[in-house]
Amino acid sequence: MDTTAIIGLTSMIVAGLTIALGSIGPAFAEGRAVAEALRAIAQQPDESNTITRTLFVGMALIESTAIYCFLVSMILIFFNPFWNQISGGG
């Protein structure tokens, strides 16, 4: 196996692990955030607008972690910085 194939294989494995492990945490966090928001709305229905607005901001912040993991995996697959090392460009 030459170095190009090794780097390609390693990039694919790491990209898959990045997506797999990087989406588990945000998925659990979003589920817990929704559950806690529903519990808070059930206890204080008058504050539902404030709770919902805060929930959506928190969900966007949580989802950004999964988006960053997706971005890292796409960089590893399509714009891998290690290709320049073996092609003599870096």
What is d(CA 54, CA 62) in angstroms, rounded to the nearest whole number?
12
pTM value is: 0.71
Closest CA to 65 of 36, 32, 34, 24: 24
Res. 6: pLDDT tops 90: no
44-81 burial by CB neighbour count: b if 16+ within 10 A, else e? eeeeeeebeeebeebbeebeeebeebeeebeebeeebe
Q: How confident is the model at residue 2 (pLDDT cuts 50, 70, 90)?
A: confident
Domains of the chain: 24-80 (1.20.20.10)
Q: What is the pLDDT of residue 90?
A: 52
What is d(CA 7, CA 26) in angstroms, rounded to the nearest whole number?
29
Taking only the tens place, the pLDDT of each residue in 29-74 is 999 999 999 999 999 999 999 999 999 999 999 999 999 999 988 8
Taking only the tens place, the pLDDT of each residue in 10-30 is 888 888 898 998 899 999 999
